[in-house]
Structure 1
Amino acid sequence: MARANARRGGRGGSRKAPEAESTEAPAVQMPYGANFQRQDLRRRKNTSASKGGKQSSKKLNQMYGKDGRLKRKYSNGPEEITGAPVTRRQDRQQRHQHQQIAALSRSSLLKIKTKNEPMSFSSAMTPELLATLQEGDEVADARPPDLEAGDEQEPTTGLAEVLQKVFGHESFRPGQQEAMESVLNKQKTLLLLATGSGKSLCYQLPAYLLREEGLTLVVSPLVSLMSDQLARLPKCLRGAVCSGQQSRDQVREVMRAVRARMVDVLFVSPERLAMWSFDGCGLPPIALACIDEAHCVSEWSHNFRPDYLRLSEYLQGALQARRLLALTATATKPTVQSVCDILQLERVVRSDRSFSVPELLAEKAQIRVQRANLAMDIRNVPDVDLQLREIIKVLRTEVNPTDSIIIYVWRRVTADQLAKQLRPYVKGGISAYHGSMLPEARSAVQGNFMGGKIRVVVATVAFGMGLDKPDIRMVLHYGLPKSIENYIQETGRCARDGLPGKCIALVCPKDYQAMRWLESGGHGGGTKSSVVRTLLRALLGNSDTYPRHALSKEALVVAGGRPEDFEEGGFQPYCVALDEKLASRELNASTDELHSVLAHLSRYAVGSVSVLSNFPTKLKLRFFKSDPQELIAIDPLLRQVLPLAKKVGPVYTLDTAKAVAVMGGTAGQLSTGLWQARGDEFSVEKAEYGYMVAVLRSVSEAEVDDWAEQISSINVRARASAVEKLDACFLALTRSAEARERQKVAEPDATESAADVTMNGLIDAYFSATEEPSAVVSGGTEERRRRLSAALGAEYHLASQARPLAQRPSAAFPSARGSGGAASSAAAPSERQRVTEGLVRATVARLLMDPDWPELPCSELDALVTCVAQFLAGVGSVVLPTLKWREHRFWGHFRNFGDFQHLEEHVHAAVEKCLPMVQKHKRQKTA
């Protein structure tokens, strides 16, 4: 295929359209790949830029000259962001600067270079090597050699010899050799090693040995983590990263190098892998697939990622990886069992020895989880003022003025405020770091911290994953960690050089109350069976909620169906494009919850449903110079695409699902073909990302109800598990702080810290438990209830006696005075409960009849109850965000209720009683 060379051809001159061979392009069913004929992009006579359209289109056209090129004043972006903002004015300036850069890179047909572009290749990929890359998408037969002609390479045999001669290490650390041998023997392996214990070497050395066989693919959850891993890759391995922060040209260069077999180790996100598994991106053979932070696979872990749930389907199914290695530092035994079940793993390797999965679950002995060079100190502080005084005292008296320190907080606003408050007390620089900062500002903070320009970083959990700074001497938790697993991960960033490090946690009951309130109330419709059932019926049942596009026989086979399922006159397979933002509003479920529901559906409905995530539901073609009708005459792909698109001015908007259903092939083939076709004549923009669900066979209503029940019960248990993990962390830290206080009185001269001993014991017990790890650290059921009641108040005691949320009927929750539940049947409601019910009912009625209360897009009763309960609790939701509604008089009216689950029960009973009256009032008012 001849590549367009308008840039090489210059601006002058004209050229006639290709003759017969172009105008008489063969008619093909799927004009993708080799069937695509590239258009001639040189400027033709008597053609001009398209005009008209919406205001945004006109503004965009103003940026380009008559030759279709970006005007000079727009060709260079603003100055790069090199530091974190300190004032609100600086933050506004940075955000405006970021918007300018992003707008130019989106709209420009030319590559705009920036100083802080993310690195794409490791140091072993030299410019001389990259210069040998050729155009084309064919996969090379063999890996190019490392050495120049005439050089000789000494053969190495055995893992120990490779470790010493190639990687420069004297010996293996505990667990490393066992993991490598298991992987090389093609056993699907889970590696459990503490943070900073050398997990990366366990895929780097096998990647070196397997580099002639194929590619090593490493799946990581964060772009920053991938960048750090790429920077630390040894010189003997050629590495690359493919992420969403790269430009299109960078991604194309990386993929050309991958297909040329120049890359030994490729780092990708699970979201990128999801796209590759469907579009046939032409990867070379995958010798080894690694899943970093593998605990993200399990719903019972402390940070579950829906995209991780389908990694086995992608890696072992679509991409046919020959070996599989999963790595994590923090996983309880229930999480280990879940990860091994989902990924179909056979062996588990710890630092002491190798196990089969049943052997590990039956193993009672637990090795020490926390590293021995870390000293833990836990302190109880009753309020926020004392928290601030205590942290100032620590910074003044307990650390060296030159030490590097990370201070963890749990809210973004706290990070900014605390950094400002501590600035007078810190020499060497202090800065905040959180997810709301611009990517350039976050990169600047991390770079300055790694380079020693900043000594202290006040950060949320977004900071530190993969951070390889060995001389951090202290990790200080100003706020409570969300779980013991989070605590291990965050403290594990301290003292990786093996020297002593100190980890201090300040435990404040008010912090715990607020965190538990948000954790228990932050979920939306994704946990409600009726809401999940509504979504599944809209996708799979007899519903016209979302437009459906019938699949041709060829498209059905590509989507994973069988030709015999295509019945003339019977069920017609179809596909549905689902806009994630619209669907999340309709169901009051976050996009993560929505993705979790569809990821679970793809597991339960194998053979019936195919789900494609990160799917651009719209493709927008913007024409700059030639009349599109001229291009149709010479381009077979555009000839089929444009009649399916909706035209507004110079922009043709294509419904991707409709095009795939009509033309056949996959969405990846369609978008790839258009990307290869774009140039000076037109551009392609992906928009309105969501999901494409292909329904391959008729699904009964009973199947839909069964899947909805299973999916919602999993999500309910996962949410309950998150709250239990927070409870366990609070109990463990509180008990350790109490041991410290007792030691100060009884043994003031003791050399061994009671807090450190107690915390280590509780952590090891937590990770060795096979069921309900959170119950182990509490010291018994009654002790747990006593401690949590003291922290949360009397309402927690009432709610804790109610039946667990996962055991309730799916259609509706029982009211506090209903017959369901042990507490209501054992005793009549107390006077306090009756007063509470009346107060909640009156508030709910006034809220629903308030003229400012909006018409919610979610019509399900459970979704309405959740919206109202979150509103009264002061918790933002998808349909009622905090920034818009926090000034309403009823916002947060019951934020001190004590337990969100208990409040939700009262709200459900109130809505059921008030809703008919509210609807009648609205009808009368309308009439």
Structure 2
Amino acid sequence: MNEEIQQVLKQRFGFSSFKKGQEETITKILTRNNVLSILPTGTGKSLCYQLPSYLLSGVTIVVSPLLSLIEDQVRQLQRTGEKQAVAFGSQLTYQEKQWVLAHIAAYKFIFITPESLFQEEILQRIRQLDVGLFVVDEAHCVSTWGIDFRPDYERLASIIQHLGVKKVLALTATATEVVKEDIRQKLFLGQEIDLVQKTVNRVNIFYHVEKLSTVEEKLSWLQSFCSKYSGPGLIYCNTRRDTEEVSLYLSGNTTLKTAYYHGGLTSMERSAIQQQFLADELDVLIATSAFGMGIDKPNIRYVIHYQLPDSLEAFIQESGRGGRDGLQTLSVVLYMAQDQKVHQYFQKELLKEINDFTHLVPLTQNNDSIVLDHFSELQKKWYDFSKSENHSIENLQEKIKKRVEEKAEKLARMEDYLDTDGCRREKILSYFSETSTVQQEICCDNCHREISDFPIGLMSPDSNKKYSKLEKSKEILKNLF
């Protein structure tokens, strides 16, 4: 088996060795049935399902949350010479969708969102296929999304059972003990699973928190920092409006090439901006969380959160998109006390949605058209979910309230990270039930407070080639602030 794996690795993908966790994951999914693999960002999780697919019969179905991620994964396979891969989603015209469905048996890889997978026309065609491997990419979404956002994630187990799939692989970069158990219960229905898990610690990320008092101070800080600190850089904002305003501010007050990215743009616009960023045609990209999953850009030098993220899981996922080339990168959170208000607003809105839903549902008994007339898109999903899964309205309401409580707790843990005067890396590792055995020489602002005495500036990667990675990291960080 190992010889076969090495042969495919070399011939199909052109690699002579694996990154940490890849070979272990591949071996387990080939020899066992249910595997959850938790590998840090930048360690090539895609290979963990691509390679074994060539050693298994049948089609591989890959469920992913975003169309941009799906399209990127298909392009990645095409670069290896794979022609039997298709991205199934709303980007296809009606005619294209019908053609794909008519020829679906010819594909080796089918990439699809949960929502598309539950469309009856698509499901009927997939039922006729021999599914050798079912993959849930970004599997933490099964836990962190679900009933309050894209409920179809909570129904994936029913699809797996319905298709009679034997091998299921769940992949993610982060998972607390709670999330791991959630995935086991919701996706694997409590069955025994094989776990592959590597540390979330990314040694080349320096963690820094900048506490500011006003939006004007944040923008001024960004202007100064981004003007002097070599990119490419990625700035995350919590709202679409903020991405546009920050992009406009930086483009108007610096010479940087900037763009914004969020779910309100058309598919064509998002694709064009993503390709510009990947091709180093942009200095800074300002985005909501809609950007980044699965994006393979190795040279992002800094990731800045314009407001506090809603959880340490989201923070680690997003900051981990920096420095995939192994060189020094920087994670910054710009924080002011009012930042949590937007998250609290979303939590209140979610409670309002479920309360309105419980009052409207009894009316559907006599007039089902009220679903179309008065329900929001999320409420329509809840309505379908309650009918198909036989969940009572009271049960749904209880689950939503519990989810809001969980979100509030995660936000509090994120704030603990921002407020700590101890090692930020240790705070992160503790949250994910890990302990650090070695104190890093390059770590965070609390461990290296003297760094704040230095002016901003970063040597380019080319000028640093003569240094080892550690020496380079020291030189870069010495000139950060």
Q: Find the residue that maps to 1:465 and give its secondary structure.
A: coil
Within the candidate set 358, 368, 390, 2:221 is matched to 390
What is the Cα deviation at residue 717 of structure 1?
Answer: 0.4
Match 1:290 to one of 135, 144, 153: 135
Q: Judge conservation of contact 1:300–1:335 (CA < 8 Å) in 2.
A: no
Could you report, residue by residue, the CA deviation over 1:744-768 in whole angstroms, capped at 9, with x for unpaired residues?
xxxxxxxxxx6xxx22111122122
Offset of 1:277 from its aligned partner?
7.5
**Equivalent position of 2:398 in the other structure:** 713
- Structure 1 residues 790-801: aligned runs within 5 Å: none
Mapping 1:635-654, distance limit 5 Å? none
The answer to whether the Cα contact below 8 Å between 2:145 and 2:151 also exists between their aligned partners in 1 is no
Cα distance in 2 for partners of 1:480, 1:711 equals 29
Verify the 8 A CA contact 2:146 2:154 in the aligned structure 1: no
Matches within 5 A, 1:815-834: none
Task: Tell me how large the CA RMSD over aligned residues is.
Answer: 2.6
Say yes or no: does 1:268 pair with 2:112.
yes
2:347 is the alignment partner of 1:520: yes
CA contact (8 A) 1:329 1:489 kept: yes
Counterpart of 2:299 (choices 448, 455, 471) is 471
Instruction: State which of 360, 373, 383 in structure 2 corresponds to 1:582.
Output: 373
Q: Which residue in the other structure is 1:349 paired with?
A: 195
**Could you tell me which amino acid in structure 2 is paired with residue 471 of structure 1?**
N
Q: Could you give the per-residue CA deviations for residues 656-698 of structure 1, whole angstroms, max 9, x where no partner exists?
A: xxxxxxxxxxxxxxxxxxxxxxxxxxxxxxxxxxxxxxxxxxx
1:192 aligns with 2:45: no
Paired with 2:266 and 2:401, the residues of 1 have a C-alpha distance of 33
5+ residue gaps, structure 1: 1-154, 353-366, 547-577, 585-589, 606-706, 740-753, 770-927
Query: Offset at 1:340?
Result: 0.7
Structure 2 residue aligned with 1:544: 366
1:753-792 equivalences under 5 Å are: 758-768=423-433
User: 1:248 offset after TM fit, Å?
Assistant: 1.7
Structure 1 residues 381-780: aligned runs within 5 Å: 381-397=212-228, 399-400=229-230, 403-512=231-340, 514-528=341-355, 531-532=357-358, 535=361, 537-538=362-363, 543-546=365-368, 580-584=371-375, 590-596=376-382, 598-599=384-385, 601-604=387-390, 707-735=392-420, 739=421, 758-768=423-433
Distance (Å, rounded) in 2 between the aligned partners of 1:299 and 1:405:
27
TM-score, normalised with respect to structure 1: 0.44
Supply the AA of the counterpart residue of 1:544: N
Q: Distance in 2 between matches of 1:760 and 1:223?
A: 32
Residue 596 and residue 293 in structure 1: after superposition, are their counterparts in 2 closer, same or farther (change >3 A)? farther
The verdict on how the C-alpha distance between 1:531 and 1:272 changes in structure 2, with shifts beyond 3 A counting, is: closer
The sequence identity of aligned pairs, in percent, is 31
* Distance (Å, rounded) in 2 between the aligned partners of 1:183 and 1:375: 34
Cα deviation 1:884-919 (Å, max 9, x = unaligned): xxxxxxxxxxxxxxxxxxxxxxxxxxxxxxxxxxxx
Gapped runs of 5+ residues in structure 2?
435-481
Aligned-partner Cα distance in 2 for 1:293–1:600: 25
Shift of 1:206: 1.0
Which of residues 206, 231, 237 is equivalent to 2:52?
Answer: 206
8 Å contact kept, 1:288–1:325: yes
- Conservation of the 8 A alpha-carbon contact between 1:381 and 1:508: yes
Report the number of matched residues.
Answer: 429
- What is the correspondence of 1:71-150 to structure 2 with a 5 Å cutoff? none
Corresponding residue for 2:438?
A: none
Range that drifts further, 229-238 or 188-197: 229-238
In structure 2, give the amino acid aligned to 1:158. Answer: E
Q: 1:436 to 1:531 in 2, by over 3 A?
A: closer
Q: Report deviation, 1:161.
A: 3.0
Q: Tell me the CA shift for residue 526 of structure 1.
A: 4.7
Matched residues in 1 for 2:352 and 2:346: separation?
15
What TM-score, normalized by structure 2, do the two folds share?
0.82
Match of 2:185, SS state, is helix
Q: Is the 8 A contact 1:295 1:304 kept in 2?
A: no
Please state how far the C-alpha of 1:409 moved relative to its aligned partner. Answer: 1.2
Q: Is the 8 A contact 2:33 2:166 kept in 1?
A: no
Over 3 Å counting, the alpha-carbon distance change for 1:306 and 1:531 in structure 2 is closer
Relative to structure 1, the CA distance from residue 471 to residue 267 in structure 2 (aligned partners, 3 Å threshold; closer, same or farther) is same
CA displacement at 1:286 relative to structure 2: 0.6
- Please say if 1:375 is aligned against 2:197: no
Amino acid at match of 2:161: Q
The alpha carbon displacement at 1:723 in A equals: 2.2
Q: Could you say what secondary structure the match of 1:506 adopts?
A: strand
Aligned to 2:97: 251
Higher Cα Rg: structure 1 or 2? 1
Q: Match of 2:179?
A: 335
Describe the superposition over 1:251-278 as per-residue Cα deviations: whole angstroms up to 9, x where unpaired. 223233322x3x1111011111101478
Question: Aligned equivalents of 1:488 and 1:388: distance in 2?
Answer: 23
